[in-house]
Amino acid sequence: MKFTFASKTVLVVLLAAAVCVSAADKPSVTVKGYVLDSACAFTKGLQKPISKECATSCANAGSQLVILADDGTIYWPIAETTPSSGQNPKLLPFAGDKVTASGKIYNRGGSKAIVIEKIEAQATQK
């Protein structure tokens, strides 16, 4: 009986270690695009925000901010912690702006999410 309990304990520890290692091994990826509210990204088919004020207003009203990449991919910002937390405070200073964000990318069911490690505004082009 002790052998069975010990075997199960070792198996659980190894499984937990494998899960932690696989999450830690995700490479950091760089994404370039606009920060805008999720509703406009989907319902209006925008290529970029209408204005900084519009994106900020929607975010302040509760709409989640996303990054609309140059290739049209929408990245949902997420936290890697449990319990999780909203990412609007991290993105709000960049609402309506073109940014470069780097972090871990997660894919599930056609959706893409990013755990933002670094984000900065892109220089405006004239």
**3-state SS track over 81-120:** CCCCCCCHHHHHHHCCCEEEEEEEEEEECCEEEEEEEEEE
Instruction: Supply the CATH number for residue 68's domain.
Output: 2.40.50
Contact 119, 66 (CB under 8 A): no
d(CA 111, CA 106): 8
| Per-residue confidence (pLDDT) for residue 48, from 0 to 100 | 87
Which percentage of the chain shows pLDDT scores above 70?
79
Residue 108 lies in a domain: yes
Structure tokens at 108: 């599930």
d(CA 124, CA 121): 9
Residue 13 lies in a domain: no
d(CA 46, CA 40): 7
Residue 97 lies in a domain: yes
pLDDT (tens digit per residue) in 78-103: 999 998 899 999 999 999 999 999 99
Residue 9 lies in a domain: no
| Per-residue confidence (pLDDT) for residue 29, from 0 to 100 | 95
State how many domains the chain has. 1
Contact 115, 90 (CB under 8 A): no
Residue 6 lies in a domain: no
| Per-residue confidence (pLDDT) for residue 31, from 0 to 100 | 97
Residue 4 lies in a domain: no
d(CA 123, CA 112): 25
- Which of 16-20, 26-30, 63-67, 120-124 has the least mean pLDDT? 16-20
Residue 1 lies in a domain: no
pLDDT surpassing 50 at residue 121: yes
Which structural domain, as residue segments, surrounds residue 84? 27-121
Sign of CA dihedral 81, 97, 42, 37: positive
Residue 94 lies in a domain: yes
